[in-house]
């Protein structure tokens, strides 16, 4: 009996049968969503009901219906009315490369466990370094998400720049980083994990348009020094996740060079603009960064989660983690081919195949088309909002992230905050559109991230009309 069920689980025939059926189901799903044959982006279910459903399905459900049920109970990113979080509607080809990764299961900590994906990763990161504008000494690797990549970059920065060796000696000196108050929360989280504490995260206020106020850099740097904090890194947002606004990377790069600080660019969302001649200017100065993060699963149409971490001086990527695991890593010169020496992960997926396959199949023009289309749409949406007296922008968009709110004469800000919050919840429950929300300077804003290249201005006009409709139905 034991071997019978194992043989069943590993059956090539069963895999072929289920696989063909699933591919057909997924292709039908793409057809329904991309071409709006299905009306809803999400079939909203409160957490309590969803929990009951899946607990019951585990006991009583039909295994053959698992994938169809997942489709019913998940959000549909390929629908043009999906405008929510920063997650790509994946290029279908990457579902196939991800399937190969799942089946082959090469761990990649050491070269012999993943020869092809390791060298594929080397080719991809080398190409990305060239696109950023780095020189021949640059290199990088792929890792599991922007949060982990930013933490790794800051660890490398501390090792390369700080005067105190925390990795080997432990915390013995107050260290700090400088970052915009609008930076992604993962930067703050990384600093806290590193033991910098609240005082070690030096948050620079932003200007009226939510950019880091670079005129305050010298003041905050001197204040930190007087308080006994050794600043070792500056982080530039490209862009801020909440607002989609880019910091001035060129100014930050020059400031970092002047004070011999590590300059890190969090380009998790907007780093892909290196492929867009039209919007490359949003990254002016990016080549000055000692390191940069670019997410493949945000603006490059790949499945979650895959992130490139690139270093201007590649040698710094080897110094981040200095520890011995001789049975795994060996001791040859830098072991550049053993990725486990440079990453948090000892085991990671063969994520490099998604990057490589898209480049090989469609060329970098695909990324240009994707980024440029969505950034254009963000600007167009900003224009629609500015033309409508019942809405106001938080800031004119620089990317495909747009923050705005419904307004109405005679209503105070507190009431409008409640109204916008209620409208967003109503949209979620109805499921025709999916957008999110954020708070900026204590005010409640609706937030749209335009991720689907098949979204049009007609969809955006329909969204504004729907918001007005829901606002008119709301009673304080």
Which distant-in-sequence residues (6+ apart) come within 8 Å of 280 by Cβ? 273, 274
Mean pLDDT of the chain, nearest integer:
91
49 vs 52, 103, 177, 315, CA distance in Å? 5, 33, 44, 52
Two tokens, residue 287: 């080549």
C-beta neighbour count of 355 within 10 angstroms? 24
- C-alpha span between 142 and 300 (Å, rounded): 14
Q: For residues 180 and 237, is the Cβ–Cβ distance under 8 A?
A: yes
By residue count, the chain amounts to 476
Nearest-angstrom CA–CA distance, 270 and 96: 26
Distance CA 186, CA 123 (A): 28
Do the Cβ atoms of 151 and 180 come closer than 8 Å? no
* Dihedral angle sign, alpha carbons of residues 225, 228, 229, 231: positive
CB contact at 8 A, 118 and 111? yes
| Phi then psi dihedrals of residue 203, to 5 deg | -90, 120
Which two three-digit tokens encode residue 386? 């500015």
Give the neighbor-by-neighbor strand order of the sheet with 443-449. Answer: 391-393, 401-406, 443-449, 436-440
Q: How many CB atoms lie within 10 A of CB 281?
A: 11
Which of 438, 440, 390, 387 is CA-nearest to residue 410? 390
The average pLDDT across 268-291 equals: 97
- Over the stretch 312-341, which tens digit does the pLDDT of each residue have? 998 888 777 654 434 334 444 457 777 767
Sign of CA dihedral 429, 431, 432, 437: positive
Q: Which phi and psi (to 5°) does residue 401 adopt?
A: -100, 125
Note the pLDDT tens digit of each residue in 412-450.
Answer: 999 999 999 999 999 999 999 999 999 999 999 999 999
The single-letter DSSP state of residue 429 is H
Class of domain 366-473: alpha beta
Beta-strand runs (E) in 302-385: 307-311
What's residue 325's pLDDT? 38
Tokens for 269? 């969302």
- ω into residue 326 within 30 of 0, thus cis? no
CA–CA separation, 380 and 391 (whole Å)? 15
128-152 tens-digit pLDDT: 999 999 999 999 999 988 888 999 9
Q: How far is CA 339 from the centre of its chain?
A: 22
Residue 235 Ramachandran class (φ > 0 left, ψ -120 to 50 alpha, else beta): beta
Give the count of beta carbons closer than 10 Å to the beta carbon of residue 95. Answer: 15
Average pLDDT over residues 262-289: 97
Q: What is the pLDDT of residue 266?
A: 94
- The structure tokens listed for 15 are 């895999």
Whether the CB-CB separation of 265 and 239 falls below 8 Å is answered with no
pLDDT computed for residue 3 by the predictor: 67
Contact 139, 311 (CB under 8 A): yes
Q: Domain limits of the chain?
A: 2-90, 106-363, 366-473
Tens digits of per-residue pLDDT, 103-136? 998 877 777 787 888 899 999 999 999 999 999 9
**Domain range 106-363, CATH class:** alpha beta
């Amino acid at each position: 009996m034991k071997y019978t069920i194992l043989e069943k689980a590993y059956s090539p025939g069963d895999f072929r049968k289920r696989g063909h059926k699933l591919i057909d189901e997924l292709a039908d799903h793409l057809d329904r969503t991309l071409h709006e044959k299905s009306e809803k982006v999400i079939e909203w279910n409160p957490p309590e009901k969803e929990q009951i459903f899946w607990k019951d399905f585990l006991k009583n459900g039909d295994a053959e219906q698992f994938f169809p049920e997942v489709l019913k109970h998940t959000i549909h990113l390929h629908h043009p009315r999906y405008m929510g979080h920063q997650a790509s509607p994946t290029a279908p080809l990457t579902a196939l490369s991800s399937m190969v990764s799942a089946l082959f299961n090469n761990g990649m900590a050491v070269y012999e466990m993943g020869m092809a994906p390791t060298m594929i990763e080397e080719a991809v990161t080398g190409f990305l370094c060239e696109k950023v504008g780095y020189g021949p000494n640059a290199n990088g690797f792929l890792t599991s998400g922007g949060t982990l990549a930013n933490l790794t970059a800051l660890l490398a920065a501390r090792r390369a720049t700080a005067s105190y060796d925390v990795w080997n000696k432990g915390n013995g000196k107050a260290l700090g980083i400088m970052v915009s108050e609008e930076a992604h929360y993962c930067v703050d989280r990384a600093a806290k994990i590193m033991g910098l504490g609240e005082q070690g995260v030096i948050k620079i206020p932003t200007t009226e348009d939510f950019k880091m106020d670079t005129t305050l850099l010298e003041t905050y740097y001197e204040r930190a020094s007087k308080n006994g904090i050794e600043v070792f890194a500056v982080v530039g947002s490209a862009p801020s996740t909440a607002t989609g606004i880019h910091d001035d990377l060129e100014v930050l790069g020059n400031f970092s060079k002047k004070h011999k600080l590590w300059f890190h660019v969090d380009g998790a969302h907007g780093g892909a603009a290196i492929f867009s001649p039209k919007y490359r200017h949003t990254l002016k100065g990016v080549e000055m960064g000692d390191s940069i993060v670019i997410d493949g699963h945000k603006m490059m149409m790949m499945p979650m989660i895959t992130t490139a971490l690139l270093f201007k001086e590649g040698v710094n990527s080897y110094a981040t983690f200095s520890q011995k695991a001789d049975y795994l890593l060996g001791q040859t010169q830098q072991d550049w081919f053993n990725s486990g020496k440079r990453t948090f992960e000892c085991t990671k997926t063969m994520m490099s195949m998604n990057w490589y396959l898209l480049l090989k199949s469609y060329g970098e023009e695909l990324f240009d088309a994707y980024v440029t289309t969505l950034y254009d749409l963000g600007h167009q949406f900003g224009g629609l909002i500015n033309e409508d007296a019942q809405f106001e922008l938080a800031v004119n968009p620089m990317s495909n992230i747009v923050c705005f709110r419904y307004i109405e004469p005679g209503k105070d800000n507190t009431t409008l905050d409640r109204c916008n919050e209620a409208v967003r919840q109503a949209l979620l429950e109805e499921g025709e559109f999916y957008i999110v929300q954020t708070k900026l300077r204590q005010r409640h804003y609706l937030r749209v991230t335009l991720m689907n290249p098949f979204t049009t201005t007609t969809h955006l006009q329909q969204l504004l009309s729907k918001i007005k409709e829901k606002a008119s139905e709301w009673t304080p």
